[in-house]
Chain A
Amino acid sequence: MNLYLYLGVLIACIGIFGLLAFRSLGKRLISANILSSGVFIYLIAGGVGDPVPQALVLTGLVVSVSATALAVALISLNYEQ
């Protein structure tokens, strides 16, 4: 299971790198989603069989979906102007 912990951290780092390195808004949005997936993998891998991290990830997913929706709305507004 330890492998997944490290993988989660690695994916999160890739996401942070993407957020900082790209200027393109679409790429940054994808990087933010990669970052959140990394964090969620870390949480799930750390707490196998424990319901609390799974509940945290579920809430986190909802937050991440709404943040993505807001970002998409803002980015499309930005392209229209």
Chain B
Amino acid sequence: MSSELGLLVGVPLLGVSLGLIKRFRSFIVIFISSITLFLSFRAYISKDGFETVGGWLVPLGIGLRLDTLSANFILMTALVCFFVSIYSLSFFKKSSGFFWVFFFSVWTGLNGFFLSEDFFNLYVALEVLSLAGVSLVASAKTSKAIKASIDYLFISLMASLMYLMSVGVIYLKAGTLSISDFLSKNSPFFEYAMGLIAISVAIKCALFPFHFWLVPAHASALSPASAILSALLVKPPAYLIARLIIEFNTGYLQIVLSALGAIAIAFGSIMAMRQQTIKTLLAYSTVAQIGYIFLILPLFEFENLKDDAVKALSLHAFTHALAKASMFLASGNSIYVSNSDEISLMPDFASRHPLTFFGIFFSGASLMGLPTSGGFIAKFLILKGSIESGLYYIGIAAILGGLLAGLYIYPLWKECFEKSERKPKGYIPIWMELSAFSLGLLSFAGGVFGF
């Protein structure tokens, strides 16, 4: 594979400019999405690779590295983006504005982030992601969405600049920007840099005390945009901190992040139960689910548990991304029919729109962690790790999170069976239903194929 890793970034980048062309738009979008999906599958199968962009060697050029963890995240991105692109072609009836530009920018930024071997390149990818994410929120054009996007922009600018500061600290102390070089030089001063990275990551991921920006931003965007934001845009910072902590133990920092993760699970789930609209419910559920990634960080300290913890992390991120995207697409279908996102306004989906209902069913089951879903195996591995390491609170938080998820998913399932007197518009484009269904099914099947 000579330059396939570069293509993973380059092909979606092509989509950023080609997405502006109005003619043959469906063809262009499907063509670029399928090629990137194909490349991501190949990357997932090979799971190994290193190349330098343009042939410049590492201290000068940019290194791209593919390993098991990043291959998993690349495939997750590709699956979610592929189905969201199919969904959006039907969702935007007349004008999609600049949606496709931001959509492909996000895809480019995510692939670039997961492949980067270089701290500064990560900063650039992070900025691409936050600017594209902010624009995705603002493209809903309602005054609520614009207010939310301004808050989101300032918060993520602050977090990115704090990250840049830590990159500065790393370069001035270690004299390198490459991640593997940094990890091989073990100096006590790096803990400060790690602390600074951890704060910016926590803000970007909306970890518990910093969750305030996420809910208005994710809930006020258009449904396909919310799916991208909630499923994918919270993952890269968590991936970064996990990747650093796998190699570099920081003791107390892992415990603090993990405790915040546990609080996030409880808080997010309880807030999700109290919501009246689907999208705020799903946004709070994201706050809860992102907690798991931080919850398991202390397990990386134990050599014998490391492999299981990495597997649990990637499986959980994968399942959550697909399930949450499916849920948001299904919420888009419900809004399409009823013009409102109240939970009580998705009646009779079980018989009228069975594909959407099964999408909601499978993705809800994966979020709860019912057996054979990807979420189940991730929770099982977390539980096993927590018992073997003696950190019992991790297992308790994981189980409690599953139970609470059941409580906030249940109203969605229940409403699908309610009979309604109102005569809703009966028709949802088949591609919108199919993509919500496929993502839900894949997230549920992830547990079977994950091993």
User: Residues of A with Cβ closer than 8 Å to B?
Assistant: 12, 15-16, 19, 25, 28-29, 32, 35-36, 39, 42-43, 46-47, 52-53, 56, 59-60, 63, 66-67, 70-71, 74-75, 77-78, 81
Taking CB atoms, residues of chain A closer than 8 Å to B160 are: 63
B398 vs chain A, min Cβ distance (A): 33
Main secondary structure on chain B at its contact with chain A?
helix
Judging by beta carbons under 8 Å apart, are A39 and B157 in contact? no
Collect the chain B residues with CB atoms within 8 Å of residue A52's CB: 171, 177
Does any Cβ of A come within 8 Å of B266's Cβ? no
Q: Which of B134, B157, B172 contacts A32 (CB 8 A)?
A: B157
Instruction: Show 30 residue pairs from A and B whose CB-CB distance is below 8 angstroms, ordered by the A residue.
Output: A12-B161, A15-B161, A16-B158, A16-B162, A19-B157, A29-B154, A32-B157, A32-B161, A35-B157, A39-B161, A43-B171, A46-B172, A47-B172, A52-B171, A53-B168, A53-B171, A56-B120, A56-B164, A60-B123, A63-B160, A67-B131, A70-B135, A71-B150, A71-B157, A74-B146, A78-B143, A78-B146, A78-B150, A81-B143, A81-B146
Within 8 Å of chain A (Cβ to Cβ): is B65? no
Whether A66 pairs with B131 at a CB distance below 8 angstroms is yes
User: Does the CB pair A39–B165 fall under 8 Å?
Assistant: yes
Are A42 and B168 also in contact (CB < 8 A) when A32-B158, A35-B158 are?
A: yes
Question: Can you list, as one digit per residue, whether each of B114-158 has a CB less than 8 Å from chain A (1) or not (0)?
Answer: 000000100110010001001100100001001101100110011
B278 within 8 A of A: no
Q: Are A74 and B154 in contact (CB under 8 A)?
A: no
> Does B381 sit at the interface, judged by CB under 8 A?
no
Cβ of B242 under 8 Å from chain A: no
- Answer whether residue B197 sits at the interface, using C-beta atoms and an 8 A cutoff: no
Q: Are A71 and B154 in contact (CB under 8 A)?
A: yes
Complex contact B150–A46 (CB within 8 A):
no
Contacts A42-B165, A63-B124 given; indicate if A28 touches B138 (C-beta within 8 A): no
Residue of B at shortest CB range from A63?
B127
Q: Could you tell me the distance between the alpha carbons of A60 and B167 in the complex, rounded to whole angstroms?
A: 12
CA distance A66 to B239 in the complex (A): 26
Return chain B residues, CB-CB under 8 Å to A75: 150
Beyond the given pairs A19-B154, A63-B124, A77-B146, 16 more chain A to chain B contacts, judged by CB atoms under 8 angstroms and listed by A's residue number, are A19-B157, A29-B154, A35-B158, A39-B168, A42-B168, A43-B171, A46-B172, A47-B172, A56-B120, A56-B167, A56-B168, A60-B123, A67-B127, A70-B131, A70-B134, A78-B150
